[in-house]
Amino acid sequence: MPGHCSFVSTNLPEQCDGADLQSCSELGYYGGTTTCDDCVLNVSGCQVCPSNLSCTTVPAFVFTNDVAVSGSYIAFGGSASVEIFSSLTPTTNTSIADVIGIVAVPSGWLVASSNPPSLSTLDPSGVHGSPHPLVLASAPAMAYAGARVVVAWNQLLGSEWHVYFAIADASANIVVVETDLFATDGSPVAATTDGTSFFVAANGRLARIAQDGTHTVSTGFPGPSQLSDLDLSWSGTTGWYVSHDPSTLEQIVQRFDANGTPVGATRTLHPGLDFLGDGDDLLGIGADLVLYRYAPTSESSQTVAQSPVSHVELAHFGGDILVAWNASLLRVAVVP
């Protein structure tokens, strides 16, 4: 016999009919139990992640690009706004058109937008500064060091893709204008810093860029095929160049030194969507939300959540690791 809610479609995730309701795991939660209260699905009994982790959820915000930590504040980039947290508490949402990148600076963040192509400041209270024009032909990779930010992106030059970069100060003023770095095949661009120099990577090449814009380019790194993933990270005295092998769906990592020179042999990792250096180790997390720690001679793992995802980001948050992902809405966990 139909339940008393049968006149309402149960196709919507917030609706239910007695025992006919979606489970916590089906809704992207780690675990727990849903209930049906007056034909409305109650998810208060669902767990975002395991009980040994600190977690939170932000309704009605879809996380589409970067996460950046500035002191005790965290900014999450969406397609048309930036969500700001104080620790794990959402505090403000600032509308910014066509956000394509965000990087932390001491006063908050610099935000890259494609409409108009520009950089702008954003402070922890949500105050958004005026845009500074910058010809961004694609979503940029960015890194901050020594009161400056490198911005690198792909751009067509005639019929050939090239990686370009510019350098801005922490107020979004351009101090090194757009510079052609090297030819590429349109593969993704990644950036990181050792605290002094910047490193920009694409298509098996790694450029070391000084803060005045002078640069050298090294080759011999694992080159991704067009449109495949690429990650670049630095921690301690080591850099990691992580490239995706589309034929095996594995990640190939090559360490490099402060000169941008490859060090040691490559290593094969589990498939991943984001990677982050942590001391002498490399962290990696994939669509299954299993966080791997790759030590020099071993590896370990822990499950952060159960829901498969298409977008997840890692960041340092104090002495912990911040994990942010989309499962119909923004979810955040802090891993000790």
Of 270, 317, 120, whose CA–CA distance to 111 is shortest? 120
Same domain, 184 and 83: yes
Number of Cβ atoms within 10 Å of the Cβ of 135? 12
Same domain, 15 and 135: no
Same domain, 185 and 288: yes
Q: How buried is residue 187: exposed, middle or buried, by Cβ count under 10 Å (0-12/13-18/19+)?
A: buried
* CATH number (domain holding residue 206): 2.130.10.10
pLDDT value at position 242?
94
pLDDT value at position 248?
75
Could you give the number of structural domains in the chain? 2
Beta bridge partners, 185, equal: none
Give the 3-state DSSP-derived string for the chain, with helices as H, strands as E and coil as C. CCCCCCCCCCCCCCECECCECCCCHHHCCCEECCEEECCEEECCCEECCCCCCEEEEECCCCCCCCEEEECCEEEEECCCEEEEEECCEEEEEEECCCEEEEEEECCEEEEEEECCEEEEEECCCCCECCCEECCCCCCCEEEEECCEEEEEEEEEECCEEEEEEEEEECCCCEEEEEEEEEEECCCCCEEEECCCCEEEEECCEEEEECCCCCEEEECCCCCCCCCCCEEEEEECCEEEEEEEECCCCEEEEEEECCCCCEEEEEEEECCCCEEEEECCEEEEECCCCEEEEECCCCEEEEECCCCCCCCEEEEEECCEEEEEEECCCEEEEEEC
Same domain, 38 and 59: no
Last residue of a domain, one of 32, 47, 62: 47
pLDDT value at position 47?
84
Give the whole-angstrom CA distance, residue 291 versus residue 303: 6
Same domain, 147 and 175: yes
pLDDT value at position 294?
96
pLDDT value at position 225?
55
Per-residue pLDDT of the chain (336 residues; tens, 9 = 90+): 345 565 444 444 446 876 778 888 777 677 889 998 888 888 888 888 888 888 888 877 888 889 999 999 999 999 899 999 999 999 999 999 999 999 999 999 999 999 899 999 999 999 999 999 999 989 999 999 999 999 999 999 999 999 999 999 999 999 999 999 999 988 889 999 999 999 999 989 999 999 999 999 999 898 765 546 789 999 999 999 999 877 777 889 999 999 999 999 999 999 888 999 999 999 999 988 999 999 999 999 999 987 778 789 999 999 999 999 887 778 899 999
Regarding pTM above 0.85, the answer is yes
Same domain, 27 and 120: no
* Full domain range(s) for residue 42: 1-47
Same domain, 151 and 210: yes
pLDDT value at position 9?
45
Same domain, 35 and 125: no
Q: Are 305 and 289 in contact (CB under 8 A)?
A: yes
Last residue of a domain, one of 47, 62, 81: 47
Same domain, 63 and 41: no
Same domain, 24 and 169: no
pLDDT in tens, 177-220: 999 999 998 888 999 999 999 999 998 999 999 999 999 999 98
